[in-house]
Amino acid sequence: MDVILFGPPGAGKGTQAKLLVETLAIPQISTGDMMRAERASGSALGKKFDEYMNQGLLVPDDLVLELFAQRLRRPDAAEGAIFDGFPRTVPQAEALDAKLGELGRRVDRVIVLEVPLDLIIERVTGRRVCLSCGQTYHVRYSPPPPSGECSSCGANDVVQRADDTEEKVRTRDAGYHRETLPILAHYEPTGVVAKIDGVGTIEEITARVLGALQRS
Ligand SMILES: [Zn+2]
C-alpha cells in the first residue's frame, strides 16, 4: 500500500507516520531525511544536493525524484511506503505517479490530517525543547520542571525554539495550504483522498487513519 501523508506543520504527522510504519510494516519515505543521509554519505548525488543547498537554492525536482526512485526499489519498500514531505507540487505528484506506475503501483491513499490553526498555534507556541537531549515539553500539558533543569538529562537548556512562534506557524500554514491544496485536487478525482479529524489523542487519531486505510 502506497500512502501519502499530508497535514500542516504541527498536526502530528511525524507521530502518526511512526505508528503507521509499525502497524503496516512498510517504510516511511521522507525526502528531508533521505537528502540529509545522501549528503552525509558523500555520494555523487549527495554532492549535487550540496551544490544547491550550500547556495540556499531549492534542489530541482529531477534530482529529488532520482533519489526517490532509488529508495522505492529497495526491498523494504516492495509492498509500499508512507510518503512524508513529498510530493510538494503537482508536477512532483505526477512524477511520483509515473514512478509508481513503472512498478505496477499507484497512490492508494492520500491521508490529510486536519487540525484547526488555533490549536496548532497553541501546541507549537507552548512547546519547549531541551537543547541537550531533545526532550520536549509543553507549558500547559507537560511543563518543564520549575528549576529549569531538564527532567530527562539534567541540563539547564530548556528553551522555546525561534521557529515556534505564532507568526512562524501562520507563515508555514499559509505555505502548506498554497502547496498542498492543488495536490489534493490532483488526487481527488481518483477517490483516494481521506480527510481525517486530527484533534484527539494520538491513539484516537491513529484509529481514524487506520480506518481510512481499510476502506477501499
Ligand atoms: Zn535534556
DSSP alpha helix (H) spans, 58-201? 61-72, 90-102, 117-125, 166-187
Hey, is 132 helix, strand or coil? coil
Strand partners, 121: none
What is the whole-number distance in angstroms between the Cα of residue 155 and the centre of ligand 1? 6
User: Residue 58: is its pLDDT beyond 90?
Assistant: no
Q: What stretches of the chain adopt beta strand conformation (E)?
A: 2-6, 28-30, 81-84, 109-114, 127-130, 136-138, 158-159, 193-197
The rounded percent of the chain whose pLDDT value lies above 70 is 100
Q: What is the pLDDT of residue 204?
A: 94
Average pLDDT over residues 85-100: 89
Q: What is the pLDDT of residue 132?
A: 94
User: Residue 156: is its pLDDT beyond 90?
Assistant: yes
What is the whole-number distance in angstroms between the Cα of residue 156 and the centre of ligand 1? 8
User: Residue 216: is its pLDDT beyond 80?
Assistant: no
Q: Mind listing the domains of the chain with CATH numbers? A: 2-116+169-214 (3.40.50.300), 127-163 (2.20.28)
Hey, is 155 helix, strand or coil? coil
Q: What is the pLDDT of residue 172?
A: 84
Question: How far apart are the C-alpha atoms of 47 and 49, rounded to whole Å?
Answer: 5
- Residues serving a catalytic function are 13, 88, 127, 161, 172
User: Residue 85: is its pLDDT beyond 80?
Assistant: no
Q: What is the pLDDT of residue 64?
A: 86
User: Residue 52: is its pLDDT beyond 70?
Assistant: yes
Please name the residues in contact with 72: beta carbons below 8 A apart, sequence gap of 6 or more. Answer: 29, 81, 99, 100, 103
Q: Which residue has the cell 510518503?
A: 83
User: Residue 159: is its pLDDT beyond 90?
Assistant: yes
What is the whole-number distance in angstroms between the Cα of residue 126 and the centre of ligand 1? 17
DSSP state of 159: E
What is the whole-number distance in angstroms between the Cα of residue 183 and the centre of ligand 1? 39
Q: Which residue has the cell 506506475?
A: 101
Q: What is the pLDDT of residue 60?
A: 85
DSSP state of 142: B
What is the whole-number distance in angstroms between the Cα of residue 146 and the centre of ligand 1? 14
Q: What is the pLDDT of residue 33?
A: 81
Residue 38 in contact with residue 67, Cβ under 8 Å?
A: yes
